[in-house]
Chains A and B, each alone.
Chain A
Amino acid sequence: MQRDRLIQRWLTDWQRGRLSRRELVRRLGLLGLTSFAITNLLAACGQTQSTPTPASGGTTPSQGTGTPASGTTGIPDYIDPSKLEKELNFYNWSEYIDPDILTEFEQTYGVKVTMDTYASNEDLLAKLQGGATGYDVIVPSDYMVSIMINLGMLEPLDYSIIKTIENIDPENLHAYYDPENTYSVPYMWGTSGYSYDTAALGDDLESWKEVFEPRPEARGKIVMLDDQREVIGAALMYLGYEINETSDEALSRAKELLLAQKPHVLAYSSQNNDDLLVAGEALIAHIWTGDALLAQDEKLSLRYVIPIEGCTVWQDNLCVPKTAPHKYAAMAFIDFLNRPDIAGRNANYIMYGSPNKAAREQGYIDEEVLNNPGVYPPPEVWQRLQWIKDVGEEGALKFDRLWTEIKTS
């Protein structure tokens, strides 16, 4: 039933021109429809409304890359097209943006976009610290923004260009790592709770207990994230401490707990946890929101939980490095990404939580996702979300040693 409703919703969006055919086909494929079925479905439903005519307005792109895409309003008047550089280098996580959006930006603004990808904040930092230049927009996570600010690597943002910042939910702004949002604009956010199979374990798991002191049927089928701070943090939260606690007493209790848990852990993996859940090899997985949704798409009996003892919240942000060669275009791009319709489409494609309030309120985000409390938790749940923060040199070493002890035991 849920599946059918999803399909219906997507078809409606497509008919209304809010969802591209390509994206629709992709999603139907993810749900397991064969291409034969998809073709039939599309043929049967057709498009009731013709695609909106290309909008006018804004200077035509000097490169002649085509007419502006449908549904947008061209370059806003607070952006000076003559200052736009011809190129933009976007350094992003993999599969973390809808490629159609990049194309639309290229066509509307006349700027050629090249995107490279990385797979972790640490890789990003190591590359930039090693001296790689040439990237205009990067997408570091919360704690990484904090580090980069401290290392003086980021360029202050010009909000006369990034006017769409007003679309962002105030809850997501003014985070601890950049209280004035001098250097960063929130991009996507999520939490790190756990997902489990309701078919095997019932409907009502709510606590970290199920992960750290699992019931017999879950033993040996637990997957944890392969991340020191997340795993030790979860243990700390379960024991009633704060996630950034570094006292010896707290850490040694966490160590005991994690060592006792280890025999029941199938694997420590941040990449395969969703696969293992879907395949049924794992019944419980410590997982990020986006991956949880992806898994849920394929196995509808999965449920994502933000445990009552608390769980980490994290946020990825758009930033401009100091060494960026195309700063004006970079900021115009950030402005573009936060238009409600663009932000909505992006969020639907990536399936993470969007901090763009306007997108939510104007209905650009999938209802299914909007109503999922795992992705957009109600305010009272926000109380128990905690940010992972830098714990200083000594703390970092303690965590590292503890993690090594656990993994090598």
Chain B
Amino acid sequence: MAIVEQIGPSERAVTWRERLGDAVRQREGLRALLLAGPGGAWLLFFFLLPTAIVFAYSFARRGPYGTVDWTFTLENYVRFFDWLYIRVFLVSVWLALLTTLICLLIGYPFAFVIARSPRRWRNALLVLVLIPFWTNFLVRTYAIMLLLRSDGLINNALQWLGLIDRPLTMLFTPFAVVLGLVYGYLPFMILPIYASIEKFDFTLVEAAQDLGANTWQVFWRVLLPLTLPGVLAGSILVFIPSVGAFVTPDLLGGGKVVMIANLINQQFLTVRHWPFGSAVSFVLMAIVLAATMLYFRIGETRRI
């Protein structure tokens, strides 16, 4: 192997690349800059700065016709703390939690199977999971609506099979919304878990079984803890966007299931009350951010 042949750096000229590599290895600061720099810069300019502007909006007043009147006020935040709006928030969190749980229950075993398939098949299977999502989101949602209607395919099939005699009301209910959310975010759960399981050393399973563990124990005490980063990542990637979903609850909920993003949308667009919309957005962001950090803190302690 090429590496073995290079016996000791003192026996050949040091290339500029090696010098750079050494510098990078020794100076933690430089390395951090190179690695974290691009992401940080992009984030700063194309995210933080714009968001700061919107944050500023949340302290302003709504001018006539929906412009922004720059007088400092806290009224937007005060207005949010009203049971009407808080309830919307709680409903969103609840539906998002349900979605995450279901995605976890379906997604973990799924990712497990893919990770254990022959190497050749793995990428293909992953892509097969994602292909439905390369068609258009709206078209898929409409197709789901078609399936769920009272006169839709699922109801017709169930009635034909004689399992029910009156059509089930599935569409325009919270059930439909959760179904739509699970449908939309399942890959976000599967991919990180897959990444985590794939590098899991399965000889540990053998070892555990030799030590007398049954399948459940193997799972709970060996597999799960070591694939926890994937589970955590997946949960975050499903929960957070679910909380902020608005097209799905709008279409599949028939406008009857109002989630927090629908509220925000309403403020920005219909009522043109950008300050209030911004305030609600920031409350949402703050709470979700706090919850995320808490979740990770817990996750880290569990691993040890």
A168 near B: Cβ within 8 Å?
A: no
Q: With A and B bound together, what is the CA distance between A272 and B142 in angstroms?
A: 10
Which residues from A are CB-within-8-Å of B258?
404, 407-408
Q: Measured between C-beta atoms, what is the minimum distance from A146 to chain B in Å?
A: 9
Which residues from A are CB-within-8-Å of B271?
396-397, 400
A393, B62: Cβ atoms under 8 Å?
A: yes
B228 near A: Cβ within 8 Å?
A: no
Please judge, given known A-B contacts A267-B254, A267-B255, A393-B62, whether A126 and B268 are in contact too, CB under 8 Å.
yes
Which residues from A are CB-within-8-Å of B151?
279-281
Q: With A and B bound together, what is the CA distance between A120 and B265 in angstroms?
A: 13
Q: With A and B bound together, what is the CA distance between A179 and B296 in angstroms?
A: 61
A166 near B: Cβ within 8 Å?
A: no
A400, B273: Cβ atoms under 8 Å?
A: yes
Pick from A281, A390, A400: contact of B150, CB below 8 A: A281
The residue in chain A whose Cβ has the minimal distance to the Cβ of B82 is A401
Pick from B88, B149, B250, B255: contact of A279, CB below 8 A: B149
Which residues from B are CB-within-8-Å of A226?
250, 255
Q: With A and B bound together, what is the CA distance between A305 and B150 in angstroms?
A: 26
B216 near A: Cβ within 8 Å?
A: no
- Number of B residues whose C-beta is below 8 Å from A? 30
Q: Which B243-275 residues sit within 8 Å CB-CB of chain A?
A: 250-251, 254-256, 258, 263, 266-273
Which residues from B are CB-within-8-Å of A314?
none
- State the main secondary structure of chain A at its contact with B: helix
**Which one of A123, A129, A280 has the highest number of Cβ atoms from chain B below 10 Å of its Cβ?**
A129
Which residues from A are CB-within-8-Å of B251?
269, 272
Q: Measured between C-beta atoms, what is the minimum distance from A229 to chain B in Å?
A: 9
Which residues from B are CB-within-8-Å of A408?
84, 87-88, 91, 258
B172 near A: Cβ within 8 Å?
A: yes
The residue in chain A whose Cβ has the minimal distance to the Cβ of B68 is A129
Q: With A and B bound together, what is the CA distance between A272 and B247 in angstroms?
A: 13
B65 near A: Cβ within 8 Å?
A: yes
Q: Measured between C-beta atoms, what is the minimum distance from B95 to chain A in Å?
A: 13
B66 near A: Cβ within 8 Å?
A: yes
Which residues from B are CB-within-8-Å of A404?
84-85, 88, 258, 263, 266
A31 near B: Cβ within 8 Å?
A: no
B9 near A: Cβ within 8 Å?
A: no
The residue in chain B whose Cβ has the minimal distance to the Cβ of A221 is B150
B255, A122: Cβ atoms under 8 Å?
A: no
Q: With A and B bound together, what is the CA distance between A393 and B66 in angstroms?
A: 8
B84, A120: Cβ atoms under 8 Å?
A: no
B39 near A: Cβ within 8 Å?
A: no
B269, A126: Cβ atoms under 8 Å?
A: yes
B270, A122: Cβ atoms under 8 Å?
A: yes
Which residues from A are CB-within-8-Å of B250?
226
B84, A266: Cβ atoms under 8 Å?
A: no
Q: Which B115-150 residues sit within 8 Å CB-CB of chain A?
A: 145, 149-150
A116 near B: Cβ within 8 Å?
A: no
Q: With A and B bound together, what is the CA distance between A281 and B152 in angstroms?
A: 10
A266, B64: Cβ atoms under 8 Å?
A: no
Q: Which B157-189 residues sit within 8 Å CB-CB of chain A?
A: 172
Which residues from A are CB-within-8-Å of B62?
393
Please judge, given known A-B contacts A266-B254, A404-B84, A408-B87, whether A151 and B269 are in contact too, CB under 8 Å.
no
Which residues from A are CB-within-8-Å of B85?
404
Q: Measured between C-beta atoms, what is the minimum distance from B100 to chain A in Å?
A: 22
The residue in chain B whose Cβ has the minimal distance to the Cβ of A270 is B255
B255, A120: Cβ atoms under 8 Å?
A: no
The residue in chain B whose Cβ has the minimal distance to the Cβ of A123 is B269
A137 near B: Cβ within 8 Å?
A: no
Q: Measured between C-beta atoms, what is the minimum distance from B50 to chain A in Å?
A: 11
Pick from A126, A268, A401: contact of B255, CB below 8 A: A268
A182 near B: Cβ within 8 Å?
A: no
A147, B270: Cβ atoms under 8 Å?
A: no
Pick from A125, A262, A272, A403: contact of B272, CB below 8 A: A125
Q: Measured between C-beta atoms, what is the minimum distance from A39 to chain B in Å?
A: 28
Query: A-side interface residues toward B, CB under 8 Å?
Result: 120, 122-123, 125-126, 129, 147, 150-151, 226, 228, 262, 265-269, 272, 279-281, 390, 392-393, 396-397, 400-401, 403-405, 407-408
Sort A-B residue pairs by CB-CB distance and give the 5 closest, nearest first.
Answer: A267-B254, A268-B255, A122-B269, A400-B271, A267-B172
Could you write out 13 A-B pairs with CB less than 8 Å apart?
Answer: A122-B269, A126-B268, A129-B67, A147-B66, A151-B65, A267-B256, A281-B150, A397-B273, A403-B266, A407-B256, A408-B84, A408-B87, A408-B258
Query: B-side interface residues toward A, CB under 8 Å?
Result: 62, 64-67, 84-85, 87-88, 91, 145, 149-151, 172, 250-251, 254-256, 258, 263, 266-273
